[in-house]
Amino acid sequence: GPGILTRTLLNAGVRVVALESNSAFLPNLQSLENSLDGQLKVIYGDFFRLDPLVTGTVKPPAVCSDELFETVGVRAVPWSEGVPVKIFGILPQRKERSILWRLLFALYECSSIYRYGRVELNIFISEKEYKVLTAKPGDVRAYQALTVLWQVGCEIQLLHMEPWSSFVTNLKSRGLAVPKSRWLPNDHLCLVRLTPRQSLFTGGLKRTNSATFVFMVKQCLAKPRSRLTDRLNSWSLDSGGKLLRALEIPKNAETRSLYPEDYRRLFEALQNSSVFTEIWFHDEVLESIKNIHL
């Protein structure tokens, strides 16, 4: 990016580790690093190419999270403790949605950066994706599986909205344009704080079954106008109506009408169902894990 976040953090007196993916910019950054008496550390790398799914040696600017965190002195802490490190960045627009999904899978798996605890992300994302992350049930255009899973997993806080015009010069220099959005407003970049919930892995949701939860939500919202009872019946759950009554969910409820916490309650109830653990659903989960980062 244009260095806005780095300059702001340095001016605030924060110790900064800057990942720079363009080797042409490294000399000037390294010169700045040498003048700041330890406040800035510069590493050749790309945070959004963290932990690539490759075999063998990882070639820069791709980087492995364990090597990166060891280099900067970040140690893993229990999930119940505070935030071990805060990450700031601007999501590349062309890969924005896929990066949000990849980070989400890492969160629920406690893999990559989340092996170190509840890592806080402070990232600029497009306004349209911010609207998706914070959508409410029933919103036809914005309420999606991505919405439910991020809201269950993290506290989402809007820190700042900046017009695209502030970034347009830098975007043009990189051959990019302001992304278009047909259905959702997209006039700004939004600085959003994503802090993993301390209570995420409590109750029936655990690291070991979180992939099943992710898959369940994706399946339910693949057709957001479908009735939840129809989805439960497709999983061979003859007692779906009884389950919904116990959860005080209307039997004719559409999948897009459930709140994120309702999906969590539904999942936990299903985990306590002996029928659920024996149906084909789990085979589908295992198959989906093969493509979990796509």
- Residues making up the binding site: 1, 20, 46
For residues 276 and 218, what is the distance between their CA atoms, to the nearest angstrom? 17
Residues making up the binding site for S-adenosyl-L-methionine = 1, 20, 46
Q: Is 280 helix (H, G, I), strand (E, B) or coil?
A: coil
For residues 292 and 155, what is the distance between their CA atoms, to the nearest angstrom? 23
The helix (H) or strand (E) run that includes residue 151 is helix 145-153
Residues 6+ apart with CB under 8 A from 122: 86, 87, 88, 89, 159, 191, 192, 193, 194
For residues 130 and 160, what is the distance between their CA atoms, to the nearest angstrom? 11
Angle between helices 281-289 and 210-220 (to 10 degrees): 100
For residues 55 and 53, what is the distance between their CA atoms, to the nearest angstrom? 7
